[in-house]
Structures are given as structure tokens and as C-alpha cells.
Structure 1
Amino acid sequence: MADDKEPSGAEKMFGDFAPALVAYTDDVLFGQVWKRPELSPKERSLVTVAALTTSGNTDQLVYHLGLAKENGATEQELVEAITHLAYYAGWPKAMSAMAVAKRAFRGN
């Protein structure tokens, strides 16, 4: 029987190229870690946006800003979080993250 489920982002990106990474991403990270009840999805999203910003991993930030909005974070909260991180993560990382957020939220 065919699986009619829409492929995950990891599956679309890596498919048969890196099946173990796809499985860990889908089954462990999003299937188990993100579903733990100790933090709400919104809190997990804010932590994730902060971690990506502080580490300078802006490639993953577009997806996680969108997920954060789906999880209840407002654009204003996300912009404020990135602004706050400028003092803890460093100005260049916050400026890079804010540029990604602006493109994600405003398209320019």
C-alpha cells in the first residue's frame, strides 16, 4: 500500500541521499523531542530561534521562524528575541538573523 503522507522537509532535501539523517530528523527530533510536554511548542520554537541565532546558523532560521509563527510566536516577539540576542550572541549574528527574519516576514 502506498504511503500518501506528504514528504517531510528533510525527506525533500535529502531523500535517499542521507536516509539515516532524514529518519533521525523526522522520527527523533520532530517525532519525539519536539513533542515532549515539558516545554510548549512556542517555547521550543523561541529556544530554537535563539540557538540558531547565537550559533550563526541562518540557513535553518527561515524554516524555524515560520514554525515559530505556527506555534504561536508573533513576528514582534521573534524580532524582539533577535534584538535581545544582539547583546548575548553578538551584533553580527543578530544582524544576520534579523536580515533573514525581515526576508521571511516581509519578503525583502
Structure 2
Amino acid sequence: MSQADFGSPREAARAFTPKLSAFVDDTLNPCVWSDPTLSLRDRSLVTVAALIAGGHLDELPSHLRRAVTNGVTHALTQDICYPTVVVASCNLLPVRMQAGATYDE
């Protein structure tokens, strides 16, 4: 068994699930990133926002680096963080409402 590089989530996953990693690297990523519907810059913005909203923080650094390569500035990344976090946290409203209702019982 090969040694996993746990300093890199991608390399750790690749060592543990090589077939899935090969599919992601060879099929999924090229398909997603070569679609001409969105520019690479816009695709990076959407990806970074989705990762933030979903709490996928392990994947965020590699996609932030890719976003910079694709023309996304540090300032623009900062600008998308705030509304993304605010909108993503709206799904917590029912939890807060349930907690409040429970305390009111």
C-alpha cells in the first residue's frame, strides 16, 4: 500500500480511492472546466462560492489558487465571501425557529 500524503487532501484521497480519483481527474474535471458556457474566471467564482456555501473547506485552497490563475482577484474573492456566507446560512433559519419554539414550550 502506498503512503498517503495527508498534507494534501487530494493526494490522500488519490491514495485511498485511486479509481474515483482517476475518474475525477480524467473525466469530470476536464468536462466541467472545458465547457465554453462560462469563462474560466466565472466558473472559478461559482466554484469558490459553492465550496464556501457547502462548507467544503478542504477543497477551497486548491480552487482559490486556480481562481487566481483564472483571473479572479483577491478583492473579488473577498467580495463574494460575504454574500455567499449570508445566503448559505439562511438554511439555518428553520433550526433557529425550532430552537426558539422548543424553548417557548
Hey, what does 2:75 align to over in structure 1?
76
| Overall identity of the aligned pairs, in % | 37
Hey, what does 2:52 align to over in structure 1?
53
Structure with greater Cα Rg: 2
**Which consecutive unaligned segments of at least 5 residues does structure 1 have?**
1-8, 92-108
Aligned length: 83
Structure in which a larger fraction of residues adopt helix:
2
| Partner Cα separation in structure 2 for residue 39 and residue 16 of structure 1 | 32
**Which consecutive unaligned segments of at least 5 residues does structure 2 have?**
1-7, 91-105
1:27 Cα offset (Å): 1.2
* Root mean square deviation, CA, Å: 2.1
1:87 Cα offset (Å): 2.0
TM-score by length of structure 1 reads 0.67
TM-score by length of structure 2 reads 0.68
C-alpha distance 18-85 of structure 1, shift in aligned 2 (>3 A): same
Where does 1:1-108 land on structure 2 (aligned, <5 Å)?
12-90=11-89
The runs of at least 4 consecutive aligned structure 1 residues that moved more than 2 Å come to 9-17
For residues 13-68 of structure 1, the C-alpha deviation after alignment (integer angstroms, 9 at most, x for no partner) is 34453121111111122222211111111111111111111111111111111110
